[in-house]
Every structure is written in C-alpha cells, then in structure tokens.
Structure 1
Amino acid sequence: MDIKMGKIIPGLGSAEFEVQYSAILFKPFRNEVMDAVVNTVNKIGFFASAGPLNIFVSHSLIPADMEFDPHSNPPSFHSEDIKIEKGTLVRVKISGTRIDATEIYAIGTIKEDYLGVIE
C-alpha cells in the first residue's frame, strides 16, 4: 500500500490523500454457498451466474427427484412443487473453480440440504 502526502481542503477541515492499493474483489472458493440466477437449462444440467462467476450444475448434482422436461417452454428441471428454468434464483454450493485471464468458471451442486430454488 502506497500513501502519498495529503493536502488539506480549505474551508472543510478535512484532508485528501492519494492511495494506491491492490485488492481481491471477488474470489469464489470451494464449498462456498452463494445465490445465482439460472441462465440456461438443458438435459446435461443448467448454467447460472453470480456476478462475473459462471456456474455449471450438472444433472448428477441436481436432486434425483428433479427431472428434465425438454417440452416445457422454456426447458426446465422440475419436481412436484419446484421448477428450475431460465431466470430462477437458486442457492448453489461451489464444488470447484477455474479462473482464466478474463473469466471465472465454477462447478456447483444443489444436491444438499438448504440448496436449490430460493422462493
């Protein structure tokens, strides 16, 4: 962290400093639970986003009672009282991450207690 000499602002009695620093603004980690919005749904799972993070939830990481319905519009996973489709808010647990130069990717699961659709 680099702090340069400050200057007093006339009439206010406050000071102004120029500061240079580095910070990590968003760094997802394994087993972190976060809320995300579903972007696309297909037979292999669904893609969701949480800010700049793109999360893929595989069909094998979705509860067994939820089935894919390709004939619904838009396509969705559903059980008796729950439906996951484009625009649905879900709570996911991050299983793993990959960070490229410009993108952040993650694999997530909703196959545990307190995860899934947020109503």
Structure 2
Amino acid sequence: MTTIEDTVRIPPSRFEDPLEEVAIQTLNEAYNGSLDKNLGLLVNVNEIDEIGEGKLIMGDGASYHSVVFKAIFFKPEQQEIIDGEVIEIAEFGAFVRIGPMDGLVHVSQVTDDYINYDAKRGALIAKESNKTLDEGDLVRSRIVAISLKDNSTKNTKIGLTMRQNGLGRFEWIEEAKRKAKK
C-alpha cells in the first residue's frame, strides 16, 4: 500500500455523482495495470485520503482536483516464495500466474529429474519419478530472476524455480511431507 499525490479530472457528466466515488473510479481507469520499477504493478486505487477543491480550466468543462490516495501495488521480490497456477505448458517450461503477473518455470527448474514434454497432453512429465505438471495445477515456486521493463507487464520477465524442498506442485509437497513422516 502506497500513498500517492496527483490530480484527477472529473468530467461534467459525473458532477452529480459522489465526488470520492468518481475520483476512485477515474484513478483506477487511469492507473490500474501500470508498472513502476520501484513500486511494482498498480493493482487498485482503493481509498482517497484528501481531495482538494475543484478547479476549472478554460475550454474544458471538467473540474480538476488535487488528490492524495492509497494504491495497492504487487511487487515480486527476488528469492520470494510464491503460490500460483500453471496457465500454460510449453516445450521449454510452464507459465505460472502469480497474482496479477506471470512467471516462467523453465524445464530445467521443474524438478531434479529429466523432463519430457508431452505435446498431445500439453504436460511436462518427469522421466524417473513420473511427476507431471499440467495446465491448472497449483504450484509453489521461488522467484529467481526479475526483469521489470518499461511501464508494461508485456516486457516483464519473472523466472521461477521449483527445484528445492517444499516447492513444486502442491501434491508433490504433500507427498514429500508424508514420506518424511514415515
């Protein structure tokens, strides 16, 4: 959660609506999904702390208000352990949705075992242990590389690994816990 100061434009068609509600909606439309290298990805503007008196600009019927608002950001951190869902399997690895962003687990980082790609099934299969990774699987991984570029998530790259104890598909983690108890 971060506090930000800015100016918000309220169009004349919205003058009858509650000012704070319109300001939050306008700020969300303007900023949701924007990326800042220091703060991360802006997920939501959820609260207005201060809203100044509106000012009019000649030739524009809208009112402009100084605002101080709170915004929620998602910023992945190096070595952070994060849960996510496998959204796509490719020959070179698995794309994992981690909150509002996606990361990649390269095939070399799925398990210690040799991995084969099953094109028919769209899955990654470990040769010796027969562990499988399919679209829709829930996984726990560690962030090993981050590259935040521009102001867009399109050029953002997040590298993940699941090759450590306590990481991988949730079923693998539970199975390892059961084996450890025996």
TM-score grouping bracket, smaller chain normalisation: 0.7 to 0.9
Corresponding residue for residue 121 of structure 2: 73
Any conservation in 1 of the 2:49–2:70 contact (CA below 8 Å)? no
Q: 1:83-115 CA deviation, whole Å, 9 max, x = no partner?
A: 211000010100111223121431010011100
Amino acid at match of 1:29: E
Q: Deviations over 1:49-108 (max 9, x none)?
A: 112121011112122325223245133234635321100001010011122312143101
Name the CA distance, whole Å, in 1 between partners of 2:91 and 2:83: 22
What amino acid is the match of 1:102?
S
Aligned residues: 105
1:49 to 75, 82, 97: 97
Structure 2 portions without partners, runs of 5+: 6-47, 51-67, 172-182
Q: Distance in 2 between matches of 1:18 and 1:64?
A: 50
Aligned to 2:159: 107
What amino acid does structure 2 have at the position aligned with 1:46? A
- The question of 1:33 aligning with 2:81 is answered yes
More helix by share: 2
Cα distance in 2 between the residues matched to 1:52 and 1:71: 27
Q: Match for residue 13 of structure 1?
A: none
Please identify runs of 4+ aligned residues in structure 1 that moved more than 6 A: none
Q: How many angstroms apart in 2 are the aligned matches of 1:58 and 1:18?
A: 43
Unaligned residue ranges in structure 1 (runs of 5+):
3-16
What's the TM-score, normalizing by structure 1?
A: 0.73
Structure number with larger C-alpha Rg: 2
Partner Cα distance (2:88, 2:112) in 1? 19
Counterpart position of 2:11: none
Give the structure 2 partner of residue 84 of structure 1.
133
Deviations 1:15-73 (A, max 9, x none): xx843235452111100000011111122111111121210111121223252232451
- Taking the aligned partners of 1:18 and 1:63, their CA distance within structure 2 comes to 48
Find the residue that maps to 1:25 and give its secondary structure: strand
Report percent identity of matched pairs: 23
Give distance in 1, aligned partners of 2:92 and 2:158: 15
Q: CA RMSD in A?
A: 2.3
- Larger RCO: 1 or 2 (CA < 8 Å, sep 6+): 1
